[in-house]
Structure 1
Amino acid sequence: MRESDDVAGAEAGATDSRWLAALMHAAFFLLLAVALARFLLRHPGGARTPWIIAFSAVLAVLYVVGIAWAGPRRSTVRQRVWLSLVVAVVVVLVVLAPSFAWVGIPLFYTGLRTLPTRAALILVALLTGLVIASQVRLAGRWDPDLVLGPPIVAMVAAGVFLQMQRQAARQRALIDDLIRTRRELAAAERRAGTLAERQRLSMEIHDTLAQGLSSQQMLLQAAERVWASDPGKARTHVHTAASIADHNLTEARRFVQDLAPADLAHGLEQALRTVAARESGERLTVRVHIDAGERAGLGRLPDRVEAALLRIAQGALANVREHAGASGAAVTLTLLDDQVVLDVADDGCGFDAGVDVVPGVRGHGLAAMRARVRQLGGDLAIESATGEGTVLSASIPLVRGPGGGWPRSSPRP
């Protein structure tokens, strides 16, 4: 049920209230017409007849004016003055002709809807007493039915109406509270979405631009150290730094365009080999192995899975280059029947695998990798010990499409 459904329910309640008011108005005019016709038939030439006709016309006009003045939701001083005039005219008519007492019955509803509860109950009691007195006067005798019947009917009618009013008030309060709660929930969801998007962008920037800038810094520092002794080697470092800067520029432009990894233009396998070649150098050799299994002919993996695996590989290799002191690293992509597994192993110095933040190491690479894998319902495992190298393994579940392949887009779990 949405907020529009709540509003529709409130509008339906207002429509029901208008129908009830219309019914009471029709009953008032019908009872007035019947009482006037009865009096004219029984007293066609009486001395009171002109007065009865005049007061009946005044009462009808007053009631029509009151309908035009009536507010949709709340009473006003003008409505209360109008109701007092109507009741006064009804009392005069009843004094002149007791049969007009039943005209006051529809005024129960008007009083209960217009006046405060205590004043409305006093009006109901007054009109009920008027009906009893007029009926006893017409009957010419004391009758328990005439004395007890109208009060019982009045109590039932007033009780039912007041209970309906209380239920309607509770329902309006509940709808208002529900609408307010849904608006607050929608605002909270927007804030959560904004924070999630910020986290995603921070991981993208960390895994691409920040790591590229770090590599450029290291290369330029190395070129500065050997510039005088070995200009050729220094130029090689500078050219490599320029190549990384060009790649970072491509990544930055892709951020503006659609935030997709630029390396994935030719598929995940080629992207992993490109990253491995970029990270390889005179101090580190990176090898890539693809264990496709049933991969042939089934198309590419879902976009979000390929992007996550590429970013994890980039982050892991950046950590190997900057912190592991390794001479060799291996990237293995294994495609199983229901999941894809990426392993990055190195022969470096290793670290305590029980922490996501390594002392003396800047950034939040491991935490970002875990967040990426969890967003796709997968797991990230790290095996490492000081002096024994590191193996990072990311596994992400896959769901095959109707044709046996994997859908290009995967839903958020």
Structure 2
Amino acid sequence: MSSDPAAVDPRDSAAPATLATILRGAMHLAFAVLLSLGALRAHTVEQVPLPLALGLAALVAAIYGTGTALARRRRDPAAVGTTDLLLPSRGWVIALLAAWVAATLISSAFVWLAFPLFFLVLFSLGALAGPLVLLAVALWAVLAPLAVGAQDTLGIGEVLGPLVGAVFSLVAHTVWRRLLEESERNRRLVARLRATQADLAAAERRKGVAEERQRLAQDLHDTLAQGLNSIVLMSRSAAAAHPEAQGDFSRIEDTARANLADARGLVRDLASRAPQDGLEEVLRIVVERADGLGAPTRFELRTDGEAQRPAPELVETMQRAAQSLLANVVQHAEAERCVLTLAWWPDRVTLDVVDDGTGFDPAAVRPGRSGGDGLALLRSRIARAGGTVAIDSRPGEGTTVALTLPLVTGEDAARNPLTSEDA
């Protein structure tokens, strides 16, 4: 079988990793420069004592540096690179904001730290709290000079500067998140393509093994088995023609007959032995791969009835159908859970795929839209195998797809006249 499709190829994450590194470096540099300028301006312009200005800067820098260092130490090496900005917890951001507000109460020169704080707030506090705290930080950056009595009035630049910076930060954060989402979608697509290529290669290998077994069975039957059968027949004739040597010819016949039985056993084994995994194992691998794509959906495989050894063609048909259905669930369903139930019956095998996603109107699906081509190909594949497809879905109520195929076992497919005792 192929390797895990969820494994991230370094080539897939190179660009996002570079962007994350650049953004981290830019935030660190901006924070250090603006903090240093704030301390310098607090002492030179607002006449804050130098020890106090440096102490405030050192406090803010210590909180910032400690949190960043802890975040780097706690990171998962396997996950860093594509999306991780190595930002600490929300508590760290709140502590940093508190230290910044305290610094601005001493000197309004520190308000310019708001610009890197905009990004930290958005990236650390989430989609809901982030913009709200961003607005609060921007308003404080505007009003701090008035609150501490550093100024009596505000110029247009002092009002627009923080507000424009906040808007720019919000836009940049939104673009960054969209880039990450697109990168993740592309990664999943590449993973699925690689898994499909590996599956095709494995199928070709299994097909080659099966063909080689059949060829060996044919060669054994046409050469060794036929030759031993001829020895048995000739030894019988010779024993009848030469009664005085009947004991010798009987031993020859017995030996040839025993070897013929062994040869026929080899032919039977080669002709009937299935070189590929059973249907349940194949579906389990399909489910594991779907789980490994990083989608929020939890996949589960259940079985019912006594498992059979189906023909390779049936296994491959079910495998392709399951892959297609799970791909639709990942791409379109937005489901929290998807359950596959494989059931064995005396004359058929069924696979039910049930998800609790958004659902859709099957009658409204058209080829080329929302997976319409995939469903049409699925129906065609199952129909060629003599089976049926039933789809039950409504918008907002999830989807159930029921596949039914006639049960053709490996024994049925392996029956071959080469294994007959009369050959």
TM-score relative to the length of structure 2: 0.49
TM-score relative to the length of structure 1: 0.50
- Between 1 and 2, higher relative CO (CA 8 Å, sep ≥ 6) is seen in 2
Name which one, 1 or 2, has greater alpha-carbon Rg.
1
